[in-house]
Amino acid sequence: MYRDRHDAGRQLAEELARFAGDEDAVVLGIPRGGVVIGGEIARRLDLALDVVIASKIGAPGNPEYAVGAVDADGRVTANPEAGYDLAELEHLARPVRDKIRRRIELYRGGGEPVDLDGATAIVVDDGIATGLTALAACRYVREQGVDRVVLAVPVIAASSVAAFEPYVDELIAPLRPAFFHAVGQFYRHFGQVSDDEVLEILEEFGYGQ
């Protein structure tokens, strides 16, 4: 159980201590909650911070159920258990792609992303249930010329671990429960994170300056 995202970030920073001061390591937070945790990690380990943006595709009539996810390049990662074909997913992905473009513009403000060529990319989220959004993010990062992908999350459903094996070199997740209802059950305080909070953290690391 974590007190909040800041507490989770501090605990993950201890797990990642070997990367402290590593100029080749970059923390990539998945907005919004992953940026809060990623900020704590980057701050404590003196690492660069950037965002990696991906978003789930919600099922019609049940937006909380992810039928797929879209990465920053607009590519769709399907949920094979949802039963949607590619044409259906492409249709459902259109507004999600627009959302991602808006987020990139908002968070980067026209700036360039951190160069990932040859880097150790530490991808951070605040927790993983089915993991489709994080999976899309890791696939995207893998294709940016990185040397290694490290996925660091406070908690991941045990049933989701195997899905990441082809896409990450290392998974750091202190909690891997077999019984998993929602990410928030592993936090005492798990309120929504605002865009303003994300922007404040990014500005601390040089964005918008």
| Overall pTM surpassing 0.75 (yes/no) | yes
Q: Which two tokens stand for residue 71?
A: 């990465």
How far is the C-alpha of 190 from the C-alpha of 187, rounded, in Å?
A: 6
Tokens of 136: 């899309």
- Is pLDDT of 92 > 50? yes
Please enumerate in sequence order all residues whose Cβ is within 8 A of that of 14, keeping only pairs 6 or more positions apart, or say none: none
Position 207 scores a pLDDT of 67
Residue 37 one-letter amino acid: I
pLDDT for residue 27 is more than 50:
yes
The residue ranges of every structural domain in the chain are 5-52+119-204, 56-106
CATH class assigned to 5-52+119-204: alpha beta
- C-alpha 188: how far from chain center: 21
The class level of CATH for 56-106 reads: alpha beta
How far apart CA 109 and CA 117 sit, in angstroms, is 22
Averaged pLDDT for residues 71-77: 94
Over range 43-54, report the average pLDDT: 96
- Tell me the percentage of the chain whose pLDDT exceeds 90: 90
Q: Is the pLDDT of residue 103 over 80?
A: yes
What b/e string do you get for 184-198 counting C-beta neighbours within 10 Å, with b at 16 or more? eebbeebeebeeebb
Residue 110: per-residue pLDDT:
75
pLDDT tier at 39, thresholds 50, 70, 90: very high
Structure tokens at 55: 């978003």
Q: How confident is the model at residue 113 (pLDDT cuts 50, 70, 90)?
A: confident
pLDDT in tens, 159-195: 999 999 999 999 999 999 999 989 999 999 999 999 9
Q: Is 86 exposed, middle or buried (CB count within 10 Å of its CB: 0-12, 13-18, 19+)? A: exposed
Residue length, the chain? Answer: 209
Q: What is the pLDDT of residue 112?
A: 83
Cα distances (Å, whole numbers) of residue 87 to 59, 70, 72, 83: 14, 14, 19, 12
Q: Flag whether pLDDT at 134 surpasses 60.
A: yes
Q: Which two tokens stand for residue 119?
A: 């880097």
Q: What is the mean pLDDT of the chain?
A: 94
Distance CA 2, CA 11 (A): 9
Using CB atoms within 10 Å of the CB of residue 7, give its burial: 0 to 12 exposed, 13 to 18 middle, 19+ buried. middle
Q: What is the pLDDT of residues 55-66, one digit of tens each?
A: 999 999 998 889
Q: How confident is the model at residue 209 (pLDDT cuts 50, 70, 90)?
A: very low
Query: And the tokens for 185?
Result: 């059950």
Encoding tokens for residue 45?
Answer: 């380990």
Residue type, 107: Y
For residue 104, is pLDDT > 70? Answer: yes
pLDDT at residue 22 above 90?
yes
